[in-house]
Amino acid sequence: MYTASTQVRVRYAETDQMAFVYYGNYATYYEVARVEALRQLGFDYAQMEAQGVMMPVLDLHSNFLKPAKYDELLTIEVSVPKLPSVKMLFEYKITNEQNELLNSGSTTLVFLNMANNKPVRAPESLLSIMKPYYA
């Protein structure tokens, strides 16, 4: 299984009146972690799009366990539990500096041909990089 992590510091603009991270911002944190995980693999998302394949989000689940607060340094761990096919599942855990689990969630993305908006298999360039993690 492939796992990566990245860190994000909570900005004031991401908080609500209670000084907690506004719930809608967790989707952004998931995206940051997802893009960084692919970058750490050596996969070029922009190149995949230039070749006519995009990855829109099909579904998103989020569990809010404890609030994240302004100026906290969050660690977002993302895992890909199985080798992608037409879809790619990402699972997330967000912890604070005390290693408290604040949020967990998942997103499923689908590979789409940009010319006709029809599902396609994951690009071979991505599969070849990921296969060693699932041997």
Rounded-to-integer distance, Cα 78 and Cα 134, Å = 16
- DSSP 3-state assignment of 111? coil
- Give pLDDT, residue 80: 98
Phi-psi region of 71 (alpha: psi -120 to 50; beta: other; left: phi over 0): left
Rounded-to-integer distance, Cα 109 and Cα 103, Å = 20
pTM, rounded to two decimals: 0.94
> What CATH class has 2-134?
alpha beta
Residues 6+ apart with CB under 8 A from 9: 71, 72, 73, 74
Phi then psi dihedrals of residue 105, to 5 deg: -175, -175
Domain boundaries, the chain: 2-134
Per-residue confidence of the chain (135 residues) as pLDDT tens digits? 999 999 999 999 999 888 899 999 999 999 999 999 999 999 988 989 999 999 999 999 999 999 999 999 999 999 999 999 999 999 999 999 999 999 999 999 999 999 999 999 999 999 999 999 998
- Give pLDDT, residue 18: 81
Buried b (16+ CB within 10 A) or exposed e, 44-55: eeeebeeeebeb
